[in-house]
């Protein structure tokens, strides 16, 4: 799985064009979100095939800012405080969470500044569950 950071025009239809472009290329979005930041549309979406998504978007003239490795983690939704706990473990390991969202299976998707350290925290979390 790959996270793509995508710049979108801040106007009606920009997100629709992105979705139509991906659909026409047979690429499915697995999770993510889009936000307006300083008048720019910035999206982060999760793809099983990041290369195919990037190719389709760039061919349409949609700017891909970055392609990121992700950590995917299942939280115990019935237990309050799970988000705080995993974020604290990342922070204590010196890992900065740059992007966070959920995928279509209600799993937490993290883009972090130090993937190897983040992976170690994520694996430790999974083994403790």
Q: Please tell me whether residues 8 and 60 are part of one structural domain.
A: yes
Q: Give residue 108's pLDDT.
A: 93
First to last CA, the chain: 22
Q: Please tell me whether residues 21 and 61 are part of one structural domain.
A: yes
Instruction: State the total domains in the chain.
Output: 2
What is the span of the domain harbouring residue 46?
2-68
State the pTM of this model.
0.92
Q: CA–CA separation, 35 vs 52, rounded Å?
A: 23
Q: Please tell me whether residues 52 and 88 are part of one structural domain.
A: no
Q: Please tell me whether residues 84 and 113 are part of one structural domain.
A: yes
Across the 129 residues of the chain, what is the mean pLDDT of every consecutive 10-residue run? 96 96 97 93 96 97 97 88 93 97 93 97 85
Q: Give residue 121's pLDDT.
A: 95
Q: Please tell me whether residues 64 and 77 are part of one structural domain.
A: no
Contact 19, 74 (CB under 8 A): no
Q: Give residue 76's pLDDT.
A: 83
């Amino acid at each position: 799985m790959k996270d793509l950071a995508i710049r979108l025009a801040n106007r009606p239809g920009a997100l629709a064009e992105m979705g139509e472009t991906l659909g026409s290329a047979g690429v499915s979005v697995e999770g993510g979100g889009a936000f307006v930041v300083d008048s720019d549309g910035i999206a982060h979406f999760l793809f099983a095939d990041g290369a195919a998504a990037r190719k389709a978007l760039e061919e349409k003239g949609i700017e891909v800012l970055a392609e990121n490795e992700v950590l995917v983690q299942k939280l115990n939704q019935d237990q309050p405080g799970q988000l705080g706990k995993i974020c604290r473990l990342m922070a204590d390991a010196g890992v900065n969470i740059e992007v966070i969202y959920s995928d279509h299976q209600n799993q937490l998707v993290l883009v972090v500044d130090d993937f190897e350290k983040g992976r170690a925290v994520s694996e430790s979390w999974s083994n403790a569950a």
